[in-house]
Chains A and B, each alone.
Chain A
């Protein structure tokens, strides 16, 4: 559905994208992750036809997007990071205005799907951020495109708002749509994505199906919360213990990536030997967030 080869984008002397490659298959949900300022929004703006690439090739359904003169001709649904609506229009009027072939039935259907049926005749200026985000997804769907580009759709929303937006993305996937969405909430990616691509310094760090990523990179992690801080020399020795791959501390809690579940026994024995009392202890698999942090730290 989307193929990007060697994409470069410069703003003056600053090169945001430095030869990005990306491949999004039809019908999948693609999670585009990366730190702030690494080029996610720039990539999405280029794909939406809102910005021109400096170099490289962007194909949507096999067609080079630089040959398309108007963003609307790309036939995709785009949701910017912070969708801006006319505050004096109601939700219904907004969708009717954005329709290619205005239809009350279609607008009613979308308002119902986005959970905005009750607020359909309220002015958008009084909407919460979550409602605006849902209206934005509805607006992207109004022309019934097969491809959606959603820039941080669930960011800055409360848990309920996030859950609502993720439900809409899942629904779009069930409708057979292709969705490329960027986020820095990695738990959302794990919940709904088929493929994950991580960008850093304007280049793709990895791009793999989520299942493959989990199989290749999943390692047991021991989450330990000690009752008293672990002395530095003990932590240093612990990191060198056989079977311990890495050791990170965050807010008094320690995460130990280990080679296998059996190592946990050796770790507990070691801590007991050094009289480190444990408040809680849990063995889990690595999350995407661990992988993200590892990749960022390695860079």
Chain B
């Protein structure tokens, strides 16, 4: 497993994936406070902007929303080739013949990129927190921000597991990106319509947006559901890989 992890880390570093994700999230983290402090009042005009008083809480909530909406698109199309390109490009053929286990190969991707999707969003959320506190003043505690960041990251790990699963099922990177976005936004829309958000991974985002410094007991439901969904997508992925025809020609 050590060499699978090393390989994924090298891919993340050498292909510039880390840089793209970090730059995108950092851009959102820095842009949101400026938008709310400087750009929005100018756009709305003097009297309307006087009625709307923006706070650090609004700023962080806005950033969290941006990460789900815009960051999701960036993540989907930056990592859409994680498994799809391996199958489309036949790069998994030699490792499979060399005895690499499907569980290890998929697990290494989930661990490396999952860790990145914890570290980068939390780091950029802290940047957003510090920058917004500079512009709006400290109104939110750092523990609440950290809890929200971690909840959002758990949701992003679910997002990543969808990318991995759709990549294996479609073998094509771009459709993988679209299907993952459809899954994520679809869950959000449908759960909102039926009022079952707390039963879905979207419930994690709702909790994250609340910036609650204390872990709510109702949080366990979306947490358990998300973990189960991650396990299910990985199970589907490895099952599909095990029964796959690895014909070097049909894959091309």
Contacts and interface: CB of A to CB of B under 8 A. Distances in A.
A15 to B, nearest CB: 15
B94 A100 contact: no
Interface in A100-156: 100, 102, 136, 139-140, 142-143, 151
Interface string B1-13: 0011011001100
A86 B91 contact: yes
Interface string A70-108: 111100111011111110110001001111101000000
A85 B7 CA distance: 12
Contacts of A85: 91, 94
A259 interface: no
A97 B242 contact: no
B97 A50 contact: yes
Contact of B96 (A72, A140, A151): A72
Given A71-B246, A84-B90, A48 B97 contact: yes
Contacts of A73: 99
A88 B10 contact: yes
B99 A72 contact: yes
A96 B93 contact: no
Given A51-B245, A80-B90, A97 B7 contact: yes
Given A50-B93, A86-B91, A89-B7, A142 B248 contact: no
B93 A84 contact: yes
A288 B96 CA distance: 35
A70 B99 CA distance: 8
Interface residues of B, number: 27
Given A52-B245, A80-B90, A97-B3, A71 B14 contact: no
B242 A69 contact: yes
Contacts of A51: 245-247
A50 B247 contact: yes
B3 A99 contact: yes
A41 interface: yes
B142 to A, nearest CB: 37
Contacts of A88: 10-11, 14-15
B14 to A, nearest CB: 4
Which size class do A's interface residues fall under? 35 or more
Contact of A71 (B3, B15, B96, B248): B96
B235 interface: no
B99 A45 contact: no
A96 B5 CA distance: 12
Given A42-B247, A45-B248, A71-B246, A98 B98 contact: yes
A70 B3 contact: no
Interface string B144-174: 0000000000000000000000000000000
24 contacts: A42-B247, A45-B248, A48-B97, A49-B97, A50-B248, A70-B99, A70-B101, A71-B97, A72-B99, A78-B97, A83-B93, A83-B94, A85-B91, A88-B10, A89-B7, A97-B4, A97-B6, A98-B94, A98-B95, A98-B100, A100-B99, A140-B97, A142-B98, A143-B98
Given A80-B94, A93-B7, A98-B98, 9 more contacts: A11-B250, A41-B248, A49-B97, A50-B245, A71-B246, A80-B90, A80-B93, A84-B91, A98-B94
Sorted from nearest, which 8 A-B pairs have the closest CB atoms? Answer: A72-B99, A50-B246, A88-B14, A98-B98, A78-B97, A84-B90, A80-B248, A84-B91
Interface of A: 11, 41-42, 45, 48-52, 69-73, 76-78, 80-86, 88-89, 93, 96-100, 102, 136, 139-140, 142-143, 151
Interface of B: 3-4, 6-7, 10-11, 14-15, 89-91, 93-101, 242, 245-250
